[in-house]
């Protein structure tokens, strides 16, 4: 059985697909992955021996700029990605039995599956964006939501998605003989989306009117050794505090390397900076600070005192599985949700604002580094499922899904 997996987004959108591809291959299927042509992602997929089929522009070209993308950028990118999906997926999906799409709203993926007569599944890594009576829609480019009525705001959200993607999507559908779609958001999501998130970290029962299928997080097993110089740093003293903002680039708090370094030192701890797309670098040449690039978090996080991060789904899950206390400094999208959940579970602290100071981050670290927090983090770690990718792979391979 051949299965096409596709996404467009940051590492947090690509790595779960690598995990799912590996699980599918272990079950005897033939996975294909269409993703952004960033070098990081090609290397990631090479770890599971699945070549990357390039889809759209690199993510770095969009987000790794001095300033975050604007509404104008979004209205330029949306039709570009729709066109790329019809073109790239239309070819890559030939001979496949199913197509699973995730990442930045994958308008165009279901339509290719429809044209080819194959199964389509939409998957997400958090609840944000799924219509719900319990919370309001998040921000989208171009418009401001009006009023406070939940239902009305979700209707406005659907219209904003139509504005972004509708003209391009329906133009391409017409070109391949398909009728127009009047609600792009719900068309992409379907009535039965999959949620690839751990039920302890992201409880979903009753949170949306859709018939949600929660598989658990798709975690890629990682047996890579830590670099020798990192091992030497870890062995040279007490466990350090890890500070990383992943693929945030322009969204990372200004001056976060300096603020975090001073806050960690105020706690009497050493600092481990993750360079990431934000390009974090040491503020001085003191021996208590070390910088790493892309590294095996599954091997590293059990050996740190705490993890300070932006609140991406992948990093939150990795820290939780390792039993490492967390300080989440949320910036955009689903990150405030993960921050709130970390605090609610008692496995770390949610920073009150998106722009920390030395004092505010030090206060959050005080809470995270408390013995009770580590004990609670250790207890929760034992409840985090590790089989989400296998669950999803088996569902994809079932004839009726």
Residues facing residue 242 across a β-bridge: 272, 307
The answer to whether the beta carbons of residues 358 and 259 sit under 8 Å apart is yes
Average pLDDT over residues 66-86: 90
Stretch 353-359: mean pLDDT: 89
Q: Which among 133, 102, 131, 110 has a CA at the least distance from the CA of 196?
A: 102
Average pLDDT over residues 118-145: 87
**Measured between alpha carbons, how far is residue 344 from residues 95, 189, 208, 308, 379 in Å?**
46, 28, 20, 17, 14
Dist. CA 322–CA 313, nearest whole Å: 14
Provide the mean pLDDT of the chain.
94
Contacts for 87 with CB less than 8 Å, ≥ 6 apart: none
Extents of the domains making up the chain: 2-219+386-397, 228-381
pLDDT value for 148: 73
For residue 69, what pLDDT is reported? 79
Topology (CATH) of 228-381: Rossmann fold (3.40.50)
User: What is d(CA 371, CA 305) in angstroms, rounded to the nearest whole number?
Assistant: 11
Show the tokens assigned to 93.
Answer: 């999906």
Q: pLDDT tier at 278 (50, 70, 90 boundaries)?
A: confident
Tell me what the mean pLDDT of segment 41-50 comes to: 96
- For the cut 70, the answer to whether the pLDDT of residue 374 exceeds it is yes
Task: Provide the pLDDT for residue 142.
Answer: 64
Are both 2-219+386-397 and 228-381 of the same fold? yes
State the Cα–Cα distance between residues 124 and 193, nearest whole angstrom: 7
Backbone angles phi, psi at 266, to 5 degrees: -65, -20
Taking residues 54-68, what's their average pLDDT?
86
Judge whether 171 and 157 are in contact, CB under 8 Å: no
The residues, any chain, with a CB within 8 Å of residue 2's CB and separated by 6 or more, are: 29, 30, 31, 32, 95, 96, 97
Write the pLDDT tens digit of every residue in 231-257: 999 999 999 999 999 877 666 788 899
Do 351 and 360 meet the contact criterion of CB atoms below 8 Å apart? yes
What local confidence, expressed as pLDDT, does residue 250 receive?
63
Give the orientation angle of helix 150-175 with respect to helix 109-116, to 10 degrees: 50
Distance CA 249, CA 310 (A): 11
What are the pLDDT digits (tens) for 142-190?
Answer: 667 777 788 889 899 999 999 999 999 999 999 999 999 999 999 999 9
CA distances from 160 to 75, 153, 209, 280 (A): 11, 10, 20, 35
Task: Bin 341: left if φ > 0, else alpha if -120 < ψ < 50, else beta.
Answer: alpha
DSSP result, 102-119:
-SS--TTHHHHHHHHT-E
Both tokens of 276, joined, read 């990431």
**Contact assessment for residue 276 and residue 251, using Cβ atoms and an 8 Å cutoff:** no
Give the pLDDT score at 247: 74
Provide the 3-class DSSP secondary structure of residue 53: strand
* Better pLDDT: 62 or 319: 319
* The predicted structure's pLDDT at residue 368: 98
Within 10 angstroms of residue 150's Cβ, the number of other Cβ atoms is 15
Q: Residue 401 pLDDT > 50, yes or no? A: no
Distance CA 230, CA 272 (A): 9
Whether the per-residue pLDDT at 400 is higher than 60: the answer is: no
Distance CA 92, CA 90 (A): 6
Note the pLDDT tens digit of each residue in 305-348.
Answer: 999 999 999 999 999 999 999 999 998 888 999 999 999 999 99
> Comparing C-alpha atoms, which of 19, 27, 23, 91 is closest to residue 54?
91
State the average pLDDT over residues 10-37: 97
Least confident of 132-136, 163-167, 189-193: 132-136
Instruction: Domain 2-219+386-397: give its CATH superfamily.
Output: Glycogen Phosphorylase B; (3.40.50.2000)
Instruction: Let me know: does 172 contact 111? Beta carbons within 8 Å.
Output: yes
pLDDT reading at 22 higher than 80: yes
**DSSP-assigned letter for residue 27:** T
Q: How far apart are CA 272 and CA 236, in angstroms?
A: 13
Instruction: Please state, for a pLDDT cut of 70, what percent of the chain lies above it.
Output: 98
pLDDT, position 143: 66
**Token pair of 28 as six digits:** 């005897």
The rounded percent of the chain whose pLDDT value lies above 90 is: 83
Cα distance between residue 92 and residue 242, in whole Å:
39
């Amino acid at each position: 059985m051949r299965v096409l997996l596709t996404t467009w987004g940051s590492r947090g959108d690509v790595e779960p697909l690598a995990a799912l591809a590996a699980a599918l291959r272990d079950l005897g299927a033939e996975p294909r992955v269409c993703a952004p042509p960033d070098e990081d992602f090609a290397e990631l997929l090479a770890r599971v021996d699945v070549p990357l089929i390039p889809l759209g522009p690199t993510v770095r070209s969009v987000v790794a700029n001095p300033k975050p993308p604007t509404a104008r950028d979004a209205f330029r990118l949306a039709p570009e990605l729709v066109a790329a999906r019809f073109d790239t997926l239309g070819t890559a999906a030939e001979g496949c039995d199913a197509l699973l799409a995730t990442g930045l709203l994958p308008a165009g993926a279901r339509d290719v599956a429809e044209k080819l007569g194959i199964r389509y599944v939409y998957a997400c890594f958090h609840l944000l964006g799924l219509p719900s009576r319990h919370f309001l829609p998040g921000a989208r480019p171009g418009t401001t939501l009006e009023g406070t009525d939940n239902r009305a705001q979700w209707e406005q959200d659907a219209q904003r998605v139509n504005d972004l993607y509708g003209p391009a999507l329906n133009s391409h559908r017409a070109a391949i003989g398909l009728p127009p779609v009047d609600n792009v958001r719900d068309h992409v999501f379907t009535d039965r989306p999959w949620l690839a998130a751990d039920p302890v970290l992201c409880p979903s029962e009753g949170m949306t009117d859709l018939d949600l299928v929660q598989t658990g997080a798709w975690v890629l097993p990682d047996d890579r050794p830590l670099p020798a110089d990192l091992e030497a740093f870890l062995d040279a003293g007490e466990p350090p505090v890890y500070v990383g903002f992943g693929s945030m680039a322009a969204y990372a708090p200004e001056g976060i390397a300096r603020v975090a370094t001073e806050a960690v030192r105020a706690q009497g701890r050493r600092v481990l900076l993750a360079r990431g797309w934000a390009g974090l670098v040491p503020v001085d040449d003191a021996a208590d600070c070390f910088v790493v690039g892309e590294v095996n978090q599954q091997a590293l996080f059990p050996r740190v005192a705490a993890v300070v991060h932006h609140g991406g789904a992948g990093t939150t899950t990795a820290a939780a599985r390792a039993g490492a206390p967390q300080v989440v400094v949320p910036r955009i999208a689903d990150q405030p949700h993960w921050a709130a959940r970390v605090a609610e579970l008692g496995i770390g602290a949610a920073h009150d604002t998106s722009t920390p100071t030395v004092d505010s981050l030090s206060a959050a670290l005080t809470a995270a580094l408390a013995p009770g927090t580590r004990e609670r983090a250790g207890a929760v770690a034992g409840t985090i499922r590790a089989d989400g990718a296998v669950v999803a792979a088996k569902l994809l391979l079932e004839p009726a899904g």
